[in-house]
Structure 1
Amino acid sequence: MPIEYIKKARKTAEDNSVGIRNMVALWLEDIRTRGEAAVLEMAATFDGWSGEVVLQEDKKQRLIASVPEQVKADIRFTHAQVLAFALRQRASIRDFEDSSSPGVRLGQRVVPVEVAGCYVPGGRFAHACSAIMGVATAKAAGVPFVVACSPPRGDNIDPVVAFAMDLAGADVILELGGVQGVAAMAYGIFTDRPANILVGPGNAYVAEAKALLAGSGACGIDVYAGPTESAIIADQGADPMTIAIDLVSQAEHGPDSPVWLFTDSRDLAEKVLALMPRVIAKMPDPDVPQAAWADYGEIVLCADRDELCRVCDAYAPEHVQVMAADLDWWLGNLRSYGSLFLGEGSTVAHGDKCSGTNHILPTKRAALHSGGLSVHKFLKIQTYQEIDTPANKRFSAVASRLSRVEGMEGHARSCDWRLRKYFPNENWGFHVFNQPGAD
């Protein structure tokens, strides 16, 4: 039987981004052309900022000193969890060297990028945990130079964000946000060190800027970070109030943040639907989660867990919570998500703040083909080979023949040259070009 929508979204996650993209493209070209002057003009226009862009040590220490000790302790805890997980990730991918055949040496080197740029959003929230997710993960990967930026609020960036950036190991901190912030990092403005990769979430303008910079070849990026998405898979044994609270907790990200419930229980679906307005109404700022739920919220009724799994994978949500029996079955069968939260005890807020996994994750169905931010995003996998003279008898012969199959005569001749040079008396059973003028 087809799935049934107990509640259907009024809007889709596909926003009208063409206008934003065109505007951002013009800004980026201006910054690319005029450099620091264009950045400073945009900072004054959009953030009312006319101070120094590079956060100086004395000001940084004053900001850090203003952070309450309990907040510092909590951020240190988060840093320890995220760093430990990232270091385990780094240890899971290693250099190696092997030989596929006698006379052949093949290897892999894992090399971090030289410069990483980490964006930390401002706006309605102080995203201290995003600073940890970006900067600490880059440092765990071995990146030698990390620049971080965040929009100023009044006379400075948020002190908690400054503390988190410093704790995580940022080498330079820029009091700069928006398109001008990511462009400054990409082009090396204020640092003379252009970023090889940009990471971190942001608004639609930041997301478009990152995508355009990556498309131009200026740098790589982590993921295209659209509005936060969260899905819950629940069976008849799940608690409706827990589901409603968790859906609303993620809807507070913004009015365009989709939240979805996939269930095989009509009774549960109807109870959650009834609870959502009550839970939203008790939020301190109910307008944002109300808009997200009204426009993008869905409750999808499925026949069984196999269909639940297929539907969830088709949505490929950024976050998936499972409140259903047999958690290991879901762990083994779900394939497309940014991060998975198993059991009622695991809420997305844990991953967003302190559990240790990274909260910079794919959105807009990118989880179909990509994972979230990890140390791997900061690493280049470089291969090398050495083929000695005896091994050339086989490898150059095979490469020569395959090159001609593909119509690439120049490739074939580079191998033919070695065959004739190393084995001048060999009678080959295929055409081997004899370079004119060769001794």
Structure 2
Amino acid sequence: MTETHFKKGALKAAEAADLSASVSAILTELEAGGEAAARRLSRDLDGYDGDIVLSQEAIAAACARVPQALKDDIAYAHENISRFAQAQRDSITETEIELRPGLTAGQRLIPVQAAGCYIPGGRYSHIASAMMTVTTARVAGVPHIAAVSPPRAGAVAGIPDAILYTLHRCGADRILALGGVQGIAAMAFGLFDLPRADILVGPGNQYVAEAKRLLFGRVGIDMVAGPTDSLVVADSTADPLTVAWDLIGQAEHGANSPVWLITDSAVLATEVARLAPLCAAELPQPNRAAAESAWAGLGEIILCENRDQMAAQADLIAPEHLHVQAADLDWWKSRLTAYGSLFLGAESTVAFGDKAAGTNHVLPTSGAARYTGGLSVHKFLKTVTWQRVTAEALPRLAAVTANISRFEGMEGHARTADLRLEKYTFQSS
């Protein structure tokens, strides 16, 4: 038996429109026009004419308006995210090794000097994205962290108070009420007295993603992210209602967010297919419309013969979020190889990782988990190497280098090796 599409999406996953020309034109305008162009675009696109660079007084006032209960919850999540990021940082170290007598090599871990964090601010207020990006950069040791977020109607300081509080608590050095391409450009080009960003991170809409893609090379980026996606692997031990809600809970991101169920149980597949639309119907608007569209157009249920086939299908899809609700979780943990973040057991849920558990929620989408992981302290660290040579290692090292160089036809390289063989071994003898 091969896998069967018990439910297939009515649409192909939405592909981002070709925005390159328009985004490129906006970036060119911003680089040439600087802050004036950024202010003009903010007025035209976001209808915002307030302060772009938020003062410490405005931030303090916003922090004072945040309810203490929410501050406590943010503190809980921030501590988990910070501790996990620190554990990641501690897992890599600077290294030095004497490869041969007189030949020593090593690696250093150097943080980038300036990071730019984009915090989405469209339909939802992304408190969690503020924590995931700024906290991770701070733990990595980045000296300057800028954060931008689109201005929101009704926000006293331009950005919602809770996002401002979170950015301040997590350690952002400068906060700008600026969204879209203009927000990305401000960090990349060093507008509003920001240092030019060495790396741009954080999720955003298709304009933000395209701006990051076009700027890559001039600056580093975390990844080019598409619509969020989520996959549940479940066997007959799983609860259908839990599975259905886990799928719909992620489908509410938007009509272009794919969700999949892979199972070896036809009974489970049938019940989840029945329950998922009912779960979506319970959501308030606009979440309901987004979830219903995503489930109808992009939701899939794939029926497999056994767990090996289930795992192979999951690896083939390489989802951003992969949730296993099946027996023998240790087997699944060791077998699965392609995902942005893995959630093991029905007690866990993708929302935990999205908001507060500690692992980062800026993750590869659209199958990119086949070749990369998500945002981590490693993205903000340059692993650079060094070497030192003494006379003891020179004779053999220089001779090998010169021989390989001449074989390759690179005489100049060979002569730099010859020079050291003649000069420095002679002086030390």
Give TM-score, length-normalised by structure 1: 0.94
Q: Deviations over 1:353-393 (max 9, x none)?
A: 10000000000111111000000000001110011122110
Partner of 2:69: 70
Q: What value does the CA root-mean-square deviation take over the aligned residues?
A: 1.2
Partner of 2:239: 239
* Residue segments in structure 1 that go unaligned for 5+ positions in a row: 426-439
Give the CA deviation at 1:117: 0.5
Give the CA deviation at 1:11: 2.5
Partner of 1:37: 36
Task: Check whether the contact 1:187–1:218 (CA below 8 A) recurs between aligned residues.
Answer: no
Give the CA deviation at 1:79: 0.5
Task: Check whether the contact 2:391–2:425 (CA below 8 A) recurs between aligned residues.
Answer: no
Equivalences for residues 325-340 of structure 1 within 5 A: 325-340=327-342
Whole-angstrom CA distance in 2 between matches of 1:318 and 1:200: 15
Whole-angstrom CA distance in 2 between matches of 1:184 and 1:11: 37
Tell me the SS of whatever aligns to 2:384: strand
Partner of 1:135: 134
1:410 matched to 2:418? The reply is no
Task: Check whether the contact 1:138–1:375 (CA below 8 A) recurs between aligned residues.
Answer: yes
Q: Deviations over 1:3-23 (max 9, x none)?
A: 1101112223350421x2221
Give the CA deviation at 1:95: 1.0
* Amino acid aligned to 1:78: A
* Amino acid aligned to 1:388: T
Match of 1:420 among 416, 419, 422: 422
Task: Check whether the contact 2:16–2:206 (CA below 8 A) recurs between aligned residues.
Answer: no
Tell me the SS of whatever aligns to 1:335: coil
Q: Deviations over 1:116-158 (max 9, x none)?
A: 0011000110001110000000000000100001111124101
Give the CA deviation at 1:59: 1.0
Task: Check whether the contact 1:13–1:364 (CA below 8 A) recurs between aligned residues.
Answer: no
Task: Check whether the contact 1:241–1:272 (CA below 8 A) recurs between aligned residues.
Answer: yes
Whole-angstrom CA distance in 2 between matches of 1:418 and 1:307: 59
Tell me the SS of whatever aligns to 1:311: helix
Equivalences for residues 272-421 of structure 1 within 5 A: 272-285=272-285, 286-421=288-423
* Residue segments in structure 2 that go unaligned for 5+ positions in a row: none
Identical-residue share of aligned pairs (%)? 50
Partner of 1:229: 229
Tell me the SS of whatever aligns to 1:419: helix
Partner of 1:107: 106
Whole-angstrom CA distance in 2 between matches of 1:17 and 1:391: 57
Whole-angstrom CA distance in 1 between matches of 2:199 and 2:388: 30
Task: Check whether the contact 1:232–1:261 (CA below 8 A) recurs between aligned residues.
Answer: yes
Tell me the SS of whatever aligns to 1:62: helix
Partner of 1:269: 269
Give the CA deviation at 1:423: 4.8
Partner of 2:45: 46
Tell me the SS of whatever aligns to 1:287: helix
1:182 matched to 2:181? The reply is no
Give the CA deviation at 1:424: 6.1
Task: Check whether the contact 2:228–2:257 (CA below 8 A) recurs between aligned residues.
Answer: yes
Tell me the SS of whatever aligns to 1:336: coil
Partner of 1:209: 211
Whole-angstrom CA distance in 1 between matches of 2:149 and 2:105: 43
Give the CA deviation at 1:191: 2.5
Task: Check whether the contact 1:13–1:296 (CA below 8 A) recurs between aligned residues.
Answer: yes
Give the CA deviation at 1:115: 0.2
Report which stretch shifted further, 114-123 or 406-415: 406-415
Whole-angstrom CA distance in 2 between matches of 1:33 and 1:11: 41
1:82 matched to 2:81? The reply is yes
Task: Check whether the contact 2:320–2:341 (CA below 8 A) recurs between aligned residues.
Answer: yes
Task: Check whether the contact 2:117–2:145 (CA below 8 A) recurs between aligned residues.
Answer: yes
Q: Deviations over 1:404-429 (max 9, x none)?
A: 2222221111112222324569xxxx
Whole-angstrom CA distance in 1 between matches of 2:178 and 2:280: 33
Whole-angstrom CA distance in 2 between matches of 1:420 and 1:88: 48
Task: Check whether the contact 1:233–1:261 (CA below 8 A) recurs between aligned residues.
Answer: yes
Give TM-score, length-normalised by structure 2: 0.96
Whole-angstrom CA distance in 2 between matches of 1:144 and 1:345: 38
1:5 matched to 2:5? The reply is yes
Whole-angstrom CA distance in 2 between matches of 1:237 and 1:96: 47
Whole-angstrom CA distance in 2 between matches of 1:196 and 1:69: 35
Partner of 2:146: 147
Give the CA deviation at 1:337: 0.3
Whole-angstrom CA distance in 1 between matches of 2:50 and 2:418: 64
Whole-angstrom CA distance in 1 between matches of 2:54 and 2:326: 48
Report which stretch shifted further, 86-95 or 399-408: 399-408
Whole-angstrom CA distance in 2 between matches of 1:256 and 1:423: 66
Whole-angstrom CA distance in 2 between matches of 1:222 and 1:150: 17
Q: Compared with structure 1, are the counterparts of its residues 171 and 423 closer, same or farther at alpha carbon in structure 2 (3 Å cutoff)?
A: closer
Whole-angstrom CA distance in 2 between matches of 1:245 and 1:55: 39
* Amino acid aligned to 1:138: A
Q: Compared with structure 1, are the counterparts of its residues 345 and 396 closer, same or farther at alpha carbon in structure 2 (3 Å cutoff)?
A: same
Partner of 1:93: 92
Task: Check whether the contact 1:201–1:360 (CA below 8 A) recurs between aligned residues.
Answer: yes
Partner of 2:249: 249
